[in-house]
Amino acid sequence: MIFVTGPLFGGKREYLQKVLGLSLEELSARAAFDVEELAAGEEPLEELALRLSQFDFVTANEVGCGVVPVEAEQRRFRERAGRLSCLLAQRADTVIRVCCGLPQVLKGEWEC
């Protein structure tokens, strides 16, 4: 599995489409996008990460930057989203951070 993370609107999907030569529809059939949103649920993170790691490509928006939310529920979501990203990065063969459309390989072998 290839895990791609980065800021919201950082170009993650567009980067994957370009480098793989796939349409959005073709990529969508093999990928799970914006998986940090799934961390808001009650599913245990280990189980969620295992299920998501079955996709060829997984993307997640970074949510740990900026001002810490005041509301406890928002802090809980942010914590779970960060932990989910860590679990996915551990399971991934390749981890890429895309910011402003520019890829940075954090783990594995990948031709940018």
Which domain CATH number covers 17? Answer: 3.40.50.300
- Asked if residue 8 belongs to a domain, the reply is yes
- φ, ψ at 6 (rounded to 5°): 155, 180
Has this prediction a pTM greater than 0.95?
no
Strand-pair category, 2-6 with 94-99: parallel
User: Which residues constitute the domain of residue 51?
Assistant: 2-107
Q: Going residue by residue through the chain (112 aa), what tens digit of pLDDT does each one get? A: 999 999 999 999 999 999 999 999 999 999 999 999 999 999 999 999 999 999 999 999 998 887 888 898 888 999 999 999 999 999 999 999 999 999 999 999 887 6
Query: 97 — alpha (psi -120 to 50), left (phi > 0) or beta?
Result: beta
- Asked if residue 68 belongs to a domain, the reply is yes
The structural domain count of the chain equals 1
- Asked if residue 27 belongs to a domain, the reply is yes
Q: Cα(14)–Cα(19) distance, rounded to whole angstroms?
A: 9
- Asked if residue 112 belongs to a domain, the reply is no
3 state SS of 5: strand
